Amino acid sequence: GQQVMQIPQYQHVQEGEDFTTYCNSSTTLSNIQWYKQRPGGHPVFLIQLVKSGEVKKQKRLTFQFGEAKKNSSLHITATQTTDVGTYFCAAGYALNFGKGTSLLVTP
């Protein structure tokens, strides 16, 4: 299966600071998906990346897929308290989820 590792496990930032989470694999990934889970909620699909070197943006969120398709990143510019939650990457057919990065934003 397409296993993925996420770092960091936790991140605590001041509101307005940037945030990045990384997703790495030892094997080439066919695609990668990103999900957000708010505290007490369920995972919600954010985006899917398929092409080598692909970059997609959603407002303050920037998603990248590495040239070798073995890593991906999610960058949030100028975090807000609404960004609080756990961000998961997932890959493979039935989706192997990383353990997630929990983001805490202090006002």
Does 82 bind other proteins (CB under 8 A)? Our answer is: no
Report the residue number, 19 or 87, with the smaller CB distance to other proteins: 87
Does 97 bind other proteins (CB under 8 A)? Our answer is: yes
Give the angle 88-44-33 at the CA atoms, nearest 5°: 50
32-37 and 10-14 strand pairing: unpaired
- Return the residue of 87, 92, 103, 105 that touches other proteins, per CB under 8 A: 92
Q: How far is the C-alpha of 8 from the C-alpha of 28, rounded, in Å? A: 21
Q: Mask of contacts with other proteins, 17-36, x by CB under 8 A? A: -------------xx-x---
